[in-house]
Structure 1
Amino acid sequence: MTYNFDIELQPWVSMLPTLDVSDPVAARAMLVQMSASIPPFEAPEGITITSGEAPGPDGEPDVPVLIFSPNDQETDRPVVVYAHGGGFVTGSADGDLALPAQMAAEAGAVVISVNYRLAPETPFPGPVEDCYAVLLWVEKNSESLGIDPARIAVAGVSAGACFAAAMTLMARDRNGPEICFQMLDIPVLDDRCSTPSMLAYPDAPIWTVKSARDSWRHYLGPDASGDVPAYAAPARAHDLTGLPPAYVVVSEYDPLRDEGIDYARRLLGAGVPTELHLFPGTFHGSGGAIPAAAVSQRMRAEALTALKKGLQS
């Protein structure tokens, strides 16, 4: 397959590793090794990052969180419950600091980043139930967190966007909390891995079709059948009515591209206000891997603009 990558991304492609998650332990070790060469993170001015814990799902451990708070002492700020990416099997809240910190700084929001349990050690439904437990905790503790319970948004990147989409379904079906906005950035949504983009871009940079299939295998567990629940794979949801307004980002040369487009189209068909952005010449994770490129900066700026608007409701 010939890829017409954005001119600023092209020189970097050959230097980017593919995230092979067939062996989750090895994948995690590779990411730790790569992160050792990255300069220490510095929070934006006016943002404080603290650690906390939310009560876990019934009978399960508490869920660690990172809390990104503006230092303005306001008591009615919006809040974003954020889930990091990593193919269900890698990543952590501590390893994904830049985007939630920027959300807090530019949207004036408290951002709660969920350190959910990882597969395959904890397959579905554990990780997404961790995220929903944090959502419940945020609403219950709105006063102490200094947030407005009427302005709760969810957001996530890649596998984290799967959890964000699932949280909206769970909140609708379980009578709350009320969510005002969902931001789905290069989302993982469909375990069937059979869309045209999956077939067209099997060897795309960073995230291949094999990686996608391996990650779903780890997340759904050894006992998974063809009857996969919508809370695991939101693309399988039959009814998308009553969900919050959405902003969906997809990349042109991403095997996941079409499942994001299809989900956005179905949200619109269900009467959900939805904004869909496809960025030409990009691939899965290119915005985070090559943040200085103009297209990466545009992706980030437009997502933050949409988030700020979504939090005004």
Structure 2
Amino acid sequence: MLTAGAGQAVARSGIASTDSDGLAMVDPELREGAKLILSRPLPDPLDHKAILGMRAKAPPPPAALPSPAPAVELRRVPGAQGQPDVGVAVIGARRDGVLRPAVLHIHGGGFIVGRMEDTFPASQALAEELDCVVVEVDYRLSPETRFPGPLEDCHAALVWLHGNAEELGVDRDRIAIKGESAGGGLAAMLAIAARDRASVPLCFQVLIYPMLDDRTGSTRHVPPFIGTIGWNEAGNVVGWTSLLGQPAGMASVPPGAVPARVENLAGLPPAFIGVGAIDLFVDEDIAYAQALIRQGVPTQMLVVPGAYHGFDFIAPASRAARTFTASWKLALGAAFLKASGDRPGT
């Protein structure tokens, strides 16, 4: 559920487990970050009051990088029918006549916490490195807003991005989506919704340790050394229950709300899925990648040994994080290149 700046945000917001046995499985370069997370146990009980407390205790968002870094423009865009307008941040838009690829980015936070501002510096860096436009979505959090509200906010932002591509200097054929943790789950939901509604064609989806299955921690459990650092089973149950408005792991869920339960995955955009080997989501992420592959969706899957949830934000200078980040950026850049080459006449 972590977002950029998680080294501070996790430590101060209490997103953790007190089970230190998992440290033996952690990559040595990542252990200091793991200890920081484990020093702040998850609130018990994790009720609505505790969730509000976690939001209140979150550190100030990191300042956007100053010029000459890509500029950040805050906007309000039309929401879905009957829904409020949606806040977005447009990063790296340039009106120089060149059409660039774009990424709609969705922040993490277990569906219950998190802010788009937390990821501004990382998105500025991405916009600069890949010469693309990044649009951040300020989607509504749960439990105040249940499914499909957060998804509809993300879809509205995607429709706006596609519809205003020329103004933003965006190539409509090269629009991708990306998210981490709950943001990765919403990105997976969004890819499915965009396909089902035939609304916006997507060239790629980047799912970083995505939160895909409400049954994890409720009716399905992981080995004791998995999911003890960064996000645990108890938090996962609360996050999904908050989003769905019903207990996690029930026999039926609203259509499209839980990507792992969607049977038809054919026709989705190519995907990159990355997760740590001791992340709570490792089993569900591997299973989702396998399901995509079985249904003909080109998919890359990367599992990082000794890595826990959010390791790349907490220890970005580690070899594991640098390799991980380079891998998904390479995949995204290749998808942009392929999409430009797939045009008729090119």
Q: TM-score range by the shorter chain?
A: over 0.9
**Structure 2 counterpart of 1:301, which letter?**
A
Contact 2:64/2:72 (8 A) holds in 1: no
Cα distance in 2 for partners of 1:26, 1:120 equals 12
Contact 1:75/1:143 (8 A) holds in 2: no
RMSD: 2.3
* Residue 9 of structure 1: aligned partner: 30
Cα distance in 2 for partners of 1:150, 1:82 equals 17
List alignment gaps of at least 5 residues for structure 2: 1-20, 340-346
* Residue 6 of structure 2: aligned partner: none
* Residue 236 of structure 2: aligned partner: 212
* TM superposition shift of 1:70: 5.1
Task: Find 1:45's aligned residue among 68, 93, 98.
Answer: 68
Residues 174 and 196 (structure 1), Cα distance of their counterparts in 2 relative to 1, 3 Å cut = same
* Residue 304 of structure 1: aligned partner: 329
Q: Secondary structure in 2 aligned to 1:103?
A: helix
Q: Which runs of 4+ in 1 moved over 6 A?
A: none
Cα distance in 2 for partners of 1:75, 1:98 equals 23
**Structure 2 counterpart of 1:11, which letter?**
E
* TM superposition shift of 1:196: 7.1
Task: Give the TM-score, by structure 2 length.
Answer: 0.84
Percent identity (aligned): 36
Cα distance in 1 for partners of 2:158, 2:62 equals 31
* TM superposition shift of 1:306: 1.3
Contact 1:183/1:307 (8 A) holds in 2: yes
Residues 179 and 281 (structure 1), Cα distance of their counterparts in 2 relative to 1, 3 Å cut = same
Contact 1:197/1:257 (8 A) holds in 2: no
- Residues 166-187 of structure 1 show CA distances to partners (whole Å, capped at 9, x for unaligned) of 1111111111210110000000
Task: Find 1:22's aligned residue among 46, 69, 76.
Answer: 46
List alignment gaps of at least 5 residues for structure 1: none
Residue-pair matches, total: 312
- Residues 180-229 of structure 1 show CA distances to partners (whole Å, capped at 9, x for unaligned) of 10000000000111697734446511201101111111111148853113
Cα distance in 2 for partners of 1:44, 1:274 equals 36
* TM superposition shift of 1:24: 4.7
Contact 1:79/1:110 (8 A) holds in 2: yes
Contact 2:276/2:309 (8 A) holds in 1: yes
Cα distance in 1 for partners of 2:127, 2:72 equals 10
* Residue 248 of structure 1: aligned partner: 273
Residues 25 and 114 (structure 1), Cα distance of their counterparts in 2 relative to 1, 3 Å cut = farther
* Residue 102 of structure 2: aligned partner: 79
More strand by percentage: 1
* TM superposition shift of 1:99: 2.5
**Structure 2 counterpart of 1:198, which letter?**
V
Contact 1:201/1:255 (8 A) holds in 2: no
Residues 68 and 39 (structure 1), Cα distance of their counterparts in 2 relative to 1, 3 Å cut = closer
Contact 1:241/1:267 (8 A) holds in 2: yes
Q: Name the stretch that deviates more: 23-32 or 161-170.
A: 23-32
In the alignment, does 2:305 pair up with 1:283? no
Q: Secondary structure in 1 aligned to 2:29?
A: coil
* TM superposition shift of 1:292: 2.2
* TM superposition shift of 1:230: 4.6
Q: Secondary structure in 2 aligned to 1:253?
A: coil
* TM superposition shift of 1:106: 1.1
Contact 2:97/2:169 (8 A) holds in 1: yes
* TM superposition shift of 1:163: 0.9
Q: Secondary structure in 2 aligned to 1:61?
A: coil
